[in-house]
Amino acid sequence: MKVFNEPKGSGIDINKREMRGTYTYDKESDTFKPCDKYPADKSWLNRAKKIAAEHSEFNTEVGTIGSQDTWNENIDLITFLREKYSVSCEEMETASAAQICKIADIPFIGIRTISNNITNGNSKYNPDTADTVQDFTLLLIDDYINDVN
């Protein structure tokens, strides 16, 4: 598989690109409606912030996850997404999980680990980062279980 790492300014004019979003079921109107944002559940977000504050070994950031249907290493598109939509990272899976949770009326929070990042010159995949996000997630779930028991 060939990966295209084009230099800044070499791509198409993306300033006219519009967010399309997805469709999600709306119980009140019994129809599917467009949805381009899936905000984190506030209680889960506050819980995650608390865990992050209590555990300095995690390098955490609260932000917006930009989810799309393609692998993205185009620096112009990454810059565009960060400037226009204030995304902290780009990936391909979180919106799908968020959409299902919204339809099922289940509280949702997206937690991502950044293992490779073209914007900081670290495009080599580091599998050890998966352990870190798993440890954080387990602490988050453990905190929830302690609250409900």
Report if residue 37 sits inside a domain.
yes
Report if residue 17 sits inside a domain.
no
Supply the pLDDT for residue 50. Answer: 96
Structural domain range at position 29:
22-113+124-148
Report if residue 31 sits inside a domain.
yes
- Look up the pTM and report it: 0.77
Report if residue 97 sits inside a domain.
yes
Report if residue 105 sits inside a domain.
yes
Report if residue 7 sits inside a domain.
no
> Alpha-carbon distance 110 to 133, whole Å?
11
Token pair listed for 66 = 């930009």
3-state secondary structure labels for all residues of 87-113: EEEEECCHHHHHHHHHHHCCCCCCCCC
Per-residue confidence band for 138, with pLDDT thresholds at 50, 70 and 90: very high
Report if residue 2 sits inside a domain.
no
- The pLDDT tens digits for 52-108 are 999 998 888 899 998 887 777 777 888 888 888 889 888 888 988 999 998 899 999
Number of domains in the chain: 1
Per-residue confidence band for 1, with pLDDT thresholds at 50, 70 and 90: very low
Token pair listed for 7 = 């230099």
Report if residue 12 sits inside a domain.
no
- The pLDDT tens digits for 28-56 are 899 988 888 899 999 999 999 999 999 99
> Alpha-carbon distance 102 to 33, whole Å?
12
Supply the pLDDT for residue 149. Answer: 85
CATH classification at residue 56: 3.40.50.1580
Task: Say if residue 138 is exposed, middle or buried (CB neighbours under 10 Å; 0-12, 13-18, 19+).
Answer: exposed
At what angle are helices 129-148 and 42-54 packed, to 10 degrees? Answer: 120
pLDDT greater at residue 5 or residue 77:
77
CB neighbour list of residue 14: distance below 8 Å, 6 or more residues apart: 76, 77, 80
